[in-house]
């Protein structure tokens, strides 16, 4: 038996509540994070990801309590990210019970924090989250891809998709692997919330560019989207939110479906 | 009531482990050295950190590890904690605790490293930690190294990751899991309970 593909429900947390948006905007309420965590854990989720999208630093301090509460009700691994800027932020999350810390904007602003985290807590704790968006304004020094006759490159966005960086996602992925990331959480901004499937070009290219595990994210609307991302890109894990939050499919139902389609999963 | 100690090397997340032991009915102290007398019915070496800093943090006490557990205190080493039982590791330069003969070697680069995710247990023989655990049960791994004991009798379960990875070892009062029982759902819960039962005796 080889390693199974991981199915990861994602909980975007804002001011202590789980929320869900479209293209990172128009947010609505989806429930209590601790209750949802326990439910997904019991239903057979392989891991959980919490992204704190709370706006202000003041409100974000409550994340520590949330991490402790979640850690005490589940017995599967979980990652907490959102607003992590420093080693101290990461330490606060890990010492309160998270298994991994997700870092995104903070890593772009100060890439060394990836190495510092890796040295202190080990590579397995460090998840670099990359928000990627197709850019059709072609430039010489970027990795160019094409789909349906259109050419584009993948640009890294920060601050929850609000700010472009002109950094090439492929290059950034390779760099974070070198710096000590244990895993990459790769989100397509173009696909986020659309429910029409993962960005297969993006996922495939990044899987092929690095040797650390890749979590595909953004666009999952049905179990077949997961089947496609595993078959077409060899991603290690698939993250989804809406299909779990709104009860369209339970975690167990999704995994049974995947197994029927010959995707190795833990049941 | 079983009173256990978790050794904290300073960097790792021990909250989940502590929580899972308490849920199983133990009282748990977190210790950072072996300076006080051993009053515990079991000791845990947790699984997060790097080899050299963890070994250094264990070796700095006035009482050494061997002395501390010489009355056959059951010790459960998880992941890095199990790796420290051995004589040396490719992860570092420090000498291991040397309670089990053999070394710790890096996983082959032909596979993705770290080995991260849920994998099956192939149970080789019965053991105290594996009591009530079914063959092919799923457990959660996250590691870049594997143990390589000279005496293969110590291995009670393996996992297949391109090569056979020793997953559970038992030798005398030393128990080790390469995976994280505290993160392995119900199967992990059974193993935590089994360790508590060993400590009760």
pLDDT recorded at residue A56: 60
Cβ pair A97:B144 closer than 8 A: no
Q: Is A266 part of any domain?
A: no
Buried b / exposed e over B107-137, threshold 16 CB at 10 Å, is beeeebbbbbbbbbbbbbeebebbeebeeeb
A167: domain CATH number is 3.20.20.70
pLDDT recorded at residue B156: 97
pLDDT recorded at residue A180: 94
- Model confidence over A180-194: pLDDT tens digits? 999 999 999 999 989
Cβ pair A77:B143 closer than 8 A: no
Decide: A255 and A44 in contact? Cβ < 8 Å. Answer: yes
A131: annotated active-site residue: yes
Whether residue A73 lies within 8 A of chain B, CB to CB, comes out as no
Consecutive 10-residue averages of pLDDT for chain B (201 residues) = 92 84 96 94 90 91 93 96 97 95 93 89 96 96 94 95 96 97 95 96 70
pLDDT recorded at residue B14: 86
The more confidently predicted of residues B112 and A69 is A69
pLDDT > 70 in chain A, percent: 93
pLDDT recorded at residue A92: 86
Cβ pair B117:A213 closer than 8 A: yes
pLDDT recorded at residue A102: 95
Q: Could you tell me which chain B residue has the CA closest to the CA of A73?
A: B19
- Model confidence over B91-110: pLDDT tens digits? 999 999 999 999 999 999 88
Q: Is A267 part of any domain?
A: no
Whether residue A76 lies within 8 A of chain B, CB to CB, comes out as yes
Q: Which domains does chain B have, with CATH numbers?
A: 2-200 (3.40.50.880)
- Show Cβ contacts of residue B158 under 8 Å, excluding neighbours closer than 6 positions: B121, B122, B124, B164, B165, B166, B167
How far, in Å, CA of B74 to CA of B76, rounded?
Answer: 7
Whether residue A120 lies within 8 A of chain B, CB to CB, comes out as yes
pLDDT band of residue A70 (cuts 50, 70, 90) is very high
Domain that holds residue A34: 6-260
Run of H or E including B21: helix B15-23
Q: Is A30 part of any domain?
A: yes
pLDDT recorded at residue B9: 87
pLDDT band of residue A60 (cuts 50, 70, 90) is low
Q: Could you tell me which chain B residue has the CA closest to the CA of A40?
A: B185
Cβ pair B161:A237 closer than 8 A: no
- SS3 (DSSP) at A103: strand
Cβ pair A72:B19 closer than 8 A: yes
pLDDT > 90 in chain A, percent: 69
> What distances in angstroms separate CA A243 from CA A7, A246, B48, one per listed residue?
12, 6, 33
Q: Is A265 part of any domain?
A: no
pLDDT at A23 over 60: no
Instruction: Tell me how many degrees the CA angle A98-A40-A187 measures, rounded to the nearest 5.
Output: 65
pLDDT recorded at residue A22: 56
How far, in Å, CA of A87 to CA of B6, rounded?
Answer: 24
pLDDT at A55 over 70: no
pLDDT recorded at residue A24: 59
Cβ pair A94:B160 closer than 8 A: no
Q: Is A250 part of any domain?
A: yes
Q: How distant is the Cα of A143 from the closest Cα of chain B, in angstroms?
A: 24
- SS3 (DSSP) at A53: coil
Nearest to B19 among A6, A71, A98 (CB): A71
pLDDT band of residue A77 (cuts 50, 70, 90) is very high
Nearest to B185 among A75, A183, A212 (CB): A75
- SS3 (DSSP) at A227: helix
Run of H or E including A33: helix A33-43
Give residue for tokens 């492929």.
A170
In chain A, how many domains are there?
A: 1
Whether residue A3 lies within 8 A of chain B, CB to CB, comes out as yes
- Which residues on B lie below 8 Å from A75 (Cβ)? 16, 20, 182-186, 188-189
């Amino acid at each position: 038996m080889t390693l199974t593909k991981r199915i990861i429900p994602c909980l975007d947390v804002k001011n202590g509540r789980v929320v869900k948006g479209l293209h990172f905007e128009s947010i609505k309420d989806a429930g209590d994070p601790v209750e949802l965590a326990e439910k997904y854990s019991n239903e057979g989720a392989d891991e959980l990801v919490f992204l704190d999208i709370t706006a202000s630093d003041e409100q974000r301090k409550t994340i520590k309590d949330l991490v402790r509460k979640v850690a005490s009700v589940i017995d599967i691994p979980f990652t907490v990210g959102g607003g992590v800027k420093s080693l101290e932020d990461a330490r606060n999350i890990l010492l309160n019970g998270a298994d991994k810390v997700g870092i995104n904007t903070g890593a772009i602003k100060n890439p060394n924090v990836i190495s510092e985290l890796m040295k202190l807590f080990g590579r397995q704790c460090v998840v670099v989250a990359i928000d990627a968006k197709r850019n059709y304004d072609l430039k010489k020094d970027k990795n160019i891809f094409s789909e349906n006759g259109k050419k584009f490159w993948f640009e890294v966005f920060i601050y929850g998709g609000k700010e472009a960086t002109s950094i090439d996602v492929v290059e950034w992925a390779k760099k974070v692997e070198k710096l000590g990331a244990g895993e990459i959480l790769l989100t397509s901004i173009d696909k986020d919330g659309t429910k029409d499937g993962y960005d297969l070009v993006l996922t495939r290219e990044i899987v092929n560019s690095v040797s650390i595990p890749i979590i595909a994210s953004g666009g999952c609307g049905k179990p077949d989207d997961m089947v496609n991302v595993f078959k077409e890109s060899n991603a290690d894990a698939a993250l989804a939110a809406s299909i779990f939050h709104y009860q369209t499919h339970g975690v167990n139902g999704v995994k049974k479906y995947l197994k029927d389609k010959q995707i190795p999963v833990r049941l | 009531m079983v009173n256990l100690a978790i050794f904290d090397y300073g960097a790792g997340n021990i909250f989940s482990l502590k929580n899972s032991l308490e849920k199983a009915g133990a009282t748990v102290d977190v210790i950072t050295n072996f300076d006080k007398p051993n009053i515990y019915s079991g000791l845990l070496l947790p699984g997060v950190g790097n080899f050299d800093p963890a070994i250094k943090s264990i070796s700095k006490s006035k009482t050494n590890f061997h002395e501390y557990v010489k009355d056959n205190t059951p010790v459960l080493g998880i992941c890095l904690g199990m790796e420290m039982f051995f004589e040396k590791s490719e992860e570092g330069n420090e000498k291991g605790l040397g309670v089990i003969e053999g070394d710790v070697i890096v996983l082959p680069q032909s596979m993705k490293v770290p080995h991260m995710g849920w994998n099956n247990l192939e149970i080789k023989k019965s053991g105290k930690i594996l009591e009530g655990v079914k063959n092919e049960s799923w457990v959660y791994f996250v590691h870049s190294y594997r143990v390589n004991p000279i005496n293969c009798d110590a291995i009670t379960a393996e996992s297949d990751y391109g090569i056979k990875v020793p997953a559970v070892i038992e030798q005398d009062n030393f128990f080790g899991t390469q995976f994280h029982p505290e993160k392995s759902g119900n199967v992990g819960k059974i193993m935590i309970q089994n360790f508590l039962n060993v400590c009760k005796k």
